[in-house]
Structure 1
Amino acid sequence: MAAEALSAPVLCEQQLQLNTNLIRDAGQRLRALAPPFAATLARGSSDQAAAFAKFLLETKAGIPTVSHAPSTGSLYHATSAHFRNVPLIAISQSGRSPDLLAAAQDARARGAVVIAVVNDAASPLADLAEIVVPVHAGPETSVAATKSFLCTLVALTHLVAEWSQDAALLEALPQTGRVLEQAAAADWTAAVAPLRDASEMLVLGRGPSLPVAGEAALKLKETSNLHAEAFSSAEVAHGPMTLVGAGDPVLVLAPLDIARTGLRARLEDFAARGANVIAAGLPEDVAPASLVLPMDTQVHPVLGAIAQIQSFYGLANALSLARGCNPDSPPHLNKVTRTL
């Protein structure tokens, strides 16, 4: 897990070069299609990547994006006829999960334009797609996905940047390798001590950092047997924060864009309750935290969110070991999840 996470910056940089023409052509095609909405199809870590795609499409391309539940197509065969000529972004590391394949097939039968974002470009999911976006992560042997997740976020960012022709995002993309290298070198292991004996915790994000907070919470469950739940820093005030008291850990992956609005006040509320707030973000936002994690905040907010999960993977690996777990062999998990 640790080695594969550290390999991601170079792989992401190579991916951007390898996919240049493919993504440019896909962007032109999708602009010409001008769909009324888009949809995503994924499970697990890939579904967190799908939420990242939703954020990008809605804020950069102005395209409403829905999450298409795999069971709607795979079990109920009830994919809406409104999916005709609508892009369905199916995200899967393996491209072999039976329910995803069945749902993608059902959507294509309804006229959806299936876009497969996959690590295995020779997979069944890639075979049935009209547009294939390979993430070029290479073979991933760690059960807990790291490099493939990072490469998927970068591929989605590249696709939406070309689709939307967002000038700032297009300008930022060539900096991806450098930003992720710096993030991989950032030491977040100071958070191991306050999390070593935790039994449950919250992980907060908002805007571009909410999907990576979801991925962080999932990895804490998978690799450290730690019950972590992700919430928006805006939504957490609607009930969940009542569960947090003195000494309870809260990990905050703070956004670098306008989604940071109100964040400092929220962290002050947690600090006043005696919570152990651990945060990465702009200094003025995360000042109330008891532990501030290092990160480069002078980057595009989308790259900043991707960098946060890159840094987090090092913490996740160290925490897993400190809690007596094996991050390379999480119990009850398989590389390809065969949900029906």
Structure 2
Amino acid sequence: MCGIVGGVAERSITNILIEGLKRLEYRGYDSAGLALVDHGQILRERRVGKVANLEQAVEESAIVGSLGIAHTRWATHGKPTENNAHPHISGRVAVVHNGIIENYQELKDDLEALGYNFTSQTDTEVVAHLVHEALKSTPDLLKAVEQVVPQLKGAYALGIVDTEYPDELIAVREGSPLVIGVGIGENFISSDQLALLPVTNRFIYLEEGDIARLTRETIEVFVNGQPVERPIKELDATISNATKGEFKHYMLKEIYEQPEAIQQTISQALNGNALRTDFLENAEVDFKNIKQVQIIACGTSYHAGMIGKYWFEQLSGLPCQVEIASEYRYRSPVIVADTLYVCISQSGETADTLAALRDTKKRAAEKGLNISTMTICNVATSSMVRETNHHLLTLAGPEIGVASTKAFTTQLAVLMLLILKIGQVKQAISPEKIEEITTEMWHTPKVILDTLQNDKEILRLSELFVEKQHCLFLGRGTEFPIALEGALKLKEISYIHAEGYAAGELKHGPLALVDNDMPVVILAPKDDMLDKLKSNMEEVQARGGELFVFADENSGIKNKDRQHVVNVPSVSTWLAPIIYSVPVQLLSYHVAVLRGTDVDQPRNLAKSVTVE
């Protein structure tokens, strides 16, 4: 959510800031702005809507500067208006901010009492005024910021410039990600290294509580006023390959990238049809001691965790719970010794999941309980990776579309790899079963490719959804979470109200919604639940519902009046959730395109949810 780009250089950085904002558009935003310091004054442009609107305004005003900050805003405090867009200015100071200042109203009241006038409804403006006020008692910008930070409550990242310091950029990280891009004669900050890859592939990842001072030639990082060293890490430049290519939208491209993403992800763990001996080798001692698993996640990652629960219990015999992070962190959960806490997050920065992790570690330490923590995510340099004992990466590459596709299916792949590893270590899964499942995993990319051959048929069926306002998704067993995921995808990008249900729950309420105008999507792999699922389908048809069935090609389910069937290649029961994710992704995509919505950047949503 939101995006920060800033820099200090010998050259004009106007175009660098604009390009950086464009690369952060995937995060979700409603307005954009930048401020440049030039000859003792702040030059600012802000616009509601897309970065392209800001770019046009900047071109018309022809503003330039070698020190500047830029921002894309996702509204929290105050509507999406130009006055509420960042950067915010107080006299000689300009500020950009990701996150939320929870005590802003109290701070605002104090500042108004001192005579400060507020021109926005945001929580961010208090930071600009606080820094301006602090500079009255100290001539040093860094010291002024260090005075202000202890007054702020919440999670935030800040970029701050001052006309009196034309070669100095201050950055603060407290609960919201921020990286430094290291150049030659220039240095930059951003909330995501992706924004800076055109100018550098060398990065410093700030840690919680870091305050950094950047000049053209130097980078200093401080914690509680004391200098600290943060390593420079070089990023593989190939990660910058995040263009749509021949595809109309990033989402469609990422759907079609799933075979390769799955292949890459499983290759890190498998040697033939066996687990590599070095795969999670450093976690084996912890795995031997665990007695249960707790999965914590949000949104799509939560659905992946739900499937992980089925797999953990069915394959390894370990009790497994899965909870929504935003609920888990506030309900005073009981921390149990010898538990593996698994946090799942595409970005590794999801605010609620990260907070739940930290709270769990703190509670366990206070009680002297032995627990293990693990992150499953797509970003090797993320906060969660750094703050857990172990991690497993989904090698999906950059995912730009807000609606997760390849990140989700690779999460499922690494969950299965994790379960096989734990089962092997605890001797709970036989070598024969491991070989059976790993063989199927290698086959999965080909099955996804075959499933993608249904794209045109799914597009044809999508036309029947365009005028609908509601939809049900039904599945049983591990397809129930895929029903939830399918419903989430449809509502995210097409804005059709959709609900996912365990098909056995139909008679307990949802049947009341079924009528001639209610499309019902069925997920029907050939498994032990198929006959029961067919009975559920009959219940829907008896009430006039129209069925759209993604069915195993050997299921015996055929097309008939008001029953549309798309055949899905046969696949192992264990890996069916990965395969059945693909047709519901395509369905949601095509419906959204036909309805004319912004597929890659749906309204009100953000890719990386870094605020509560």
TM-score grouping bracket, smaller chain normalisation:
over 0.9
Partner of 1:180: 448
Residue 56 (1) aligns with residue 315 (2): no
Instruction: From 577, 594, 607, give the equivalent of 1:305.
Output: 577
**1:317·1:327 contact (CA, 8 Å) conserved in 2?**
yes
Please identify, of 163-172 and 105-114, the stretch whose mean Cα deviation from structure 2 is larger.
163-172
Counterpart AA for 1:219 = K
Instruction: From 580, 599, 605, give the equivalent of 1:327.
Output: 599
Partner of 2:321: 66
Structure number with greater Rg is 2
SS in 2 for 1:291: strand
Residue 215 (1) aligns with residue 485 (2): yes
Counterpart AA for 2:351 = P
Choose between structure 1 and 2: higher strand proportion: 2
Partner of 2:538: 268
Partner of 1:279: 549
Q: Mapping of 1:99-114 within 5 angstroms?
A: 99-109=352-362, 110=364, 111-114=370-373
Residue 155 (1) aligns with residue 425 (2): no
SS in 1 for 2:298: coil
TM-score (norm. length: structure 2): 0.52
Q: Distance in 2 between matches of 1:62 and 1:179?
A: 28
- Structure 1, residues 198-228: CA drift from partner, whole Å, max 9, x if none? 1001100111211111111001010000111
SS in 1 for 2:529: helix
**2:374·2:391 contact (CA, 8 Å) conserved in 1?**
yes
Partner of 1:249: 519
Q: Distance in 2 between matches of 1:40 and 1:3?
A: 29
> Are the structure 2 counterparts of residues 26 and 62 from structure 1 closer, same or farther at C-alpha, using a change threshold of 3 Å?
farther
Partner of 2:469: 199
Partner of 1:136: 395
Aligned residues: 336
Instruction: From 6, 11, 25, give the equivalent of 2:281.
Output: 25
- Structure 1, residues 89-128: CA drift from partner, whole Å, max 9, x if none? 1000011122211211122231431110000011000011
Give 1:294 shift. Answer: 2.2
- Structure 1, residues 278-326: CA drift from partner, whole Å, max 9, x if none? 00123546347610012102x1013222111122222221110111212
Which consecutive residues of structure 1, in runs of 5 or more, have no partner in the other structure?
Answer: none
Give 1:158 shift. Answer: 1.8
Q: Distance in 2 between matches of 1:245 and 1:134?
A: 44
> Are the structure 2 counterparts of residues 29 and 254 from structure 1 closer, same or farther at C-alpha, using a change threshold of 3 Å?
farther
Q: Distance in 2 between matches of 1:258 and 1:143?
A: 35
Q: Distance in 2 between matches of 1:265 and 1:278?
A: 15
Instruction: From 343, 347, 354, give the equivalent of 1:94.
Output: 347
**1:223·1:325 contact (CA, 8 Å) conserved in 2?**
yes
Instruction: From 378, 385, 390, give the equivalent of 1:119.
Output: 378
Instruction: From 230, 234, 238, give the equivalent of 2:504.
Output: 234
SS in 2 for 1:96: coil
Please identify, of 174-183 and 106-115, the stretch whose mean Cα deviation from structure 2 is larger.
106-115
RMSD: 2.0
TM-score (norm. length: structure 1): 0.92
Counterpart AA for 2:289 = L
Q: Distance in 2 between matches of 1:39 and 1:238?
A: 29
Instruction: Tell me the percent identity.
Output: 26
Give 1:25 shift. Answer: 3.1
Give 1:27 shift. Answer: 7.8
> Are the structure 2 counterparts of residues 240 and 114 from structure 1 closer, same or farther at C-alpha, using a change threshold of 3 Å?
same
Q: Distance in 2 between matches of 1:286 and 1:311?
A: 17
